Amino acid sequence: AQLDTLDLVVLVALLVGSIAYFTKGSYWAVPKDPYASAATLNGAAKSGKTRDIVEKMEETNKNCVIFYGSQTGTAEDYASRLAKEGSQRFGLKTLVADIEDYDYENLDKFPEDKVAFFVLATYGEGEPTDNAVEFYQFFTGEDVAFESGASAEDKPLSSMKYVAFGLGNNTYEHYNAMVRQVDTALTKLGAQRIGTAGEGDDGAGTMEEDFLAWKEPMWAALSEAMDLQEREAVYEAVFSVVEDDEKSPEEESVYLGEPTASHREGSAKGPFSAHNPYIAPIVESSELFTVKDRNCLHMEINIAGSNLSYQTGDHVAIWPTNAGAEVDRFLEVFGIQEKRHSVINVKGIDVTAKVPIPTPTTYDAAVRYYMEVCAPVSRQFVSTLAPFAPDEESKTEIVRLGNDKDYFHEKITNQCFTIAQALQSITSKPFTAVPFSLLIEGINKLQPRYYSISSSSLVQKDKISITAVVESVRLPGATHIVKGVTTNYLLALKQKQNGDPSPDPHGLTYSIQGPRNKYDGIHVPVHVRHSNFKLPSDPSKPIIMVGPGTGVAPFRGFIQERAALAAKGEKVGTTLLFFGCRKSDEDFIYKDEFKTFQDQMGDSLKIITAFSREGSEKVYVQHRLKENAELVSELLKQKANFYVCGDAANMAREVNLVLGHIIADQRGLPAEKGEEMVKHMRSSGSYQEDVW
């Protein structure tokens, strides 16, 4: 049959419609809102945006790209700060880029008159962050293959200027390995580093000061290399924040705390991930111990029907809600409590600026669900508030705090103040002139916290257990007690669930029901992160576990699993646990459960305890390890896996040292040889750490 004109019009319209439908978001010239759909890994590729950074910089007229490799958001935050400073102080045209959103094969075409920054966190055992894995493999692999065919000998990156800053933790063996290795690789390929490769140390608690000390000489060197003129920094908002008085916060399009668009629409479905949490029911919660201000929680989170799965040794991430009392304080300090439920639209003023919070939202929801308002505050951020101080006196004080490191330390850092508390300590007047954009720029996104899953997936595949000690810390010199964001929220959920007389710990007033009551019935947003902390695949292999305090969490899962295997008649090797706490009758968590496991497993389960506050001297797990050198050495000879979980700063390091001594002593080897053997165990996977 022939097509008449009407058929043709209909057909063409259908064709155009379906092209538009199938290319939605990829070819339409609208900047992608990260919250418009559940963001995916490799977002740029999926949304059809260019992965060519050279082209992107050309198109958007930028001369400075700041790549970040970030796991928990800190490196991303530093990248944004560098971008802002580069633009405001030196007139650079900056672009912040997630390192996984671009290709690396064409970096040999990086123009001479531009600069690339690399802000790279090191994760775990000297590994790249998840978003930097490909980048890391590209530059540190055997052969770097550029699109142009240039080889390493050609010094293909000789036109590239770069700046590097690493975020690491000196309590880990491979301190700042990521930035060090990338720096070496880039230099080897001919790129010219400007300034030194900075290293921030989270372990020593000096990240912020390391950053501040590194950046000034770097800016001086960069100004010289690129002929930049420093000017007086004037604040330029990165985002426009517009109140929409017409819109009611009840309207469906407004985010009231939901993590993604599909959660807002009520259509959230899997796969659930770090970008799309599952709103999981907490089916059971209890306190493993309660003494004065210390509580330890045990919770069971149901993941049945979610398609989420876990394996023994994995981590679960909990997405917290800020305490109502802190939300109120913040809104009051900035004079926005009256209009807290006004709807705001947040947009990047520059097309490349990524809005870190979902929009439209309300001030209340932004502060309660999306911003890390309770974190320690940085000197640099406080000083950006000076021009907006309510009076001259407060302004002078803020300028002094910004310029004097020691004074800032004494007045703010030592007091463990959040941003709102810091400003309250300066004046009781509200800081109404501070643009909300500045707060979005300067305050991190509220981050999920990780917990080592304390159950076995073999025994309870649909229920994830967590074991969390409630953070309630009075740091020396501080006048108030720091209440951890997530753990106190969990405590409130536990109290609510159990009908406790005070479902409001410490007057923190959590919004337990969540946005639009979606967390009602005790739900919490979670995702699962797979880890390499794993039992040997052959259960007859012996294992040695060192896990004091909540460090025992994954080992409860390990023991649960081995007890179940033993009950099924499988041959299970010696299962040795070193556990430590303050007192046997106070904080010995899972004591009764361990007794039951011992009944099931007989002699093959051995638990050696260290109680630090029972005898005249403090005894820790590492002392017990030493006392049991012979047993440990014997098990290692039988190819035991060795596991450490818990405190990274002291315990894990000590245990590592002690194990080296044990191996050397027991085998009659020099001390260095013992250390070397532990290193070898680490690289072969028979020494595994899960520390924080």
Among 96, 401, 485, 652, binds ligand FAD (CB under 6 A): 485
Coil, strand or helix at 667: helix
Tokens of 202: 């989270």
295 forms part of the interface with ligand FAD (CB under 6 A): no
Among 249, 335, 376, 435, binds ligand FAD (CB under 6 A): 376
374 forms part of the interface with ligand FAD (CB under 6 A): yes
| DSSP-assigned states of every residue in 372-385 | -TTS---HHHHHHT
Tokens of 338: 């009256």
Pairing of strands 294-302, 543-546: unpaired
Phi-psi region of 658 (alpha: psi -120 to 50; beta: other; left: phi over 0): alpha
| Closer residue to ligand FAD, CB minimum distance, 312 or 418 | 418
Closest distance of CB 569 from ligand FAD, Å: 31
d(CA 533, CA 520): 33
The closest residue (CB) to ligand FAD is 484
d(CA 75, CA 78): 5
Among 390, 484, 542, 547, binds ligand FAD (CB under 6 A): 484
491 forms part of the interface with ligand FAD (CB under 6 A): no
Which amino acid is present at 240? S
Among 468, 607, 658, 662, binds ligand FAD (CB under 6 A): 468
Closest distance of CB 535 from ligand FAD, Å: 17
Tokens of 242: 């517009």
d(CA 346, CA 344): 6
Closest distance of CB 604 from ligand FAD, Å: 25
CA-based nearest residue to 666, from 677, 652, 655 = 677
Candidates 35-43, 241-249, 485-493, 660-668: pick the segment binding ligand FAD (CB under 6 A): 485-493
375 forms part of the interface with ligand FAD (CB under 6 A): yes
The residues pairing with 239 across neighbouring beta strands, listed in sequence order, are 348
d(CA 64, CA 60): 11
Residues 107-126 that bind ligand FAD (CB under 6 A): none
Report CA torsion sign: 16, 20, 26, 30: positive
401 forms part of the interface with ligand FAD (CB under 6 A): no
553 forms part of the interface with ligand FAD (CB under 6 A): yes
644 forms part of the interface with ligand FAD (CB under 6 A): no
Residues 408-427 that bind ligand FAD (CB under 6 A): 416, 418
Candidates 77-85, 252-260, 481-489, 504-512: pick the segment binding ligand FAD (CB under 6 A): 481-489
Tokens of 347: 């947009």
| Closer residue to ligand FAD, CB minimum distance, 164 or 423 | 423
Candidates 37-45, 271-279, 447-455, 499-507: pick the segment binding ligand FAD (CB under 6 A): 447-455
Residues recognised as catalytic: 452, 645, 690, 692
Applying CB under 6 A, the site for ligand FAD has a residue count of: 24
Coil, strand or helix at 495: helix
| Closer residue to ligand FAD, CB minimum distance, 195 or 554 | 554
Among 62, 329, 340, 449, binds ligand FAD (CB under 6 A): 449
CA-based nearest residue to 67, from 113, 107, 37 = 107
The residues pairing with 240 across neighbouring beta strands, listed in sequence order, are 347
Candidates 105-113, 131-139, 430-438, 465-473: pick the segment binding ligand FAD (CB under 6 A): 465-473
Residue 264: HSE in the Cβ half-sphere, 13 Å Cα cutoff: 22
Residues 311-340 that bind ligand FAD (CB under 6 A): 315, 320
Quote helix, strand, coil % in the chain, to nearest 5: 40, 20, 40
Q: Which chain residues interact with ligand FAD by CB under 6 A?
A: 315, 320, 374-376, 416, 418, 449-452, 467-469, 471, 473, 482, 484-487, 550, 553, 692
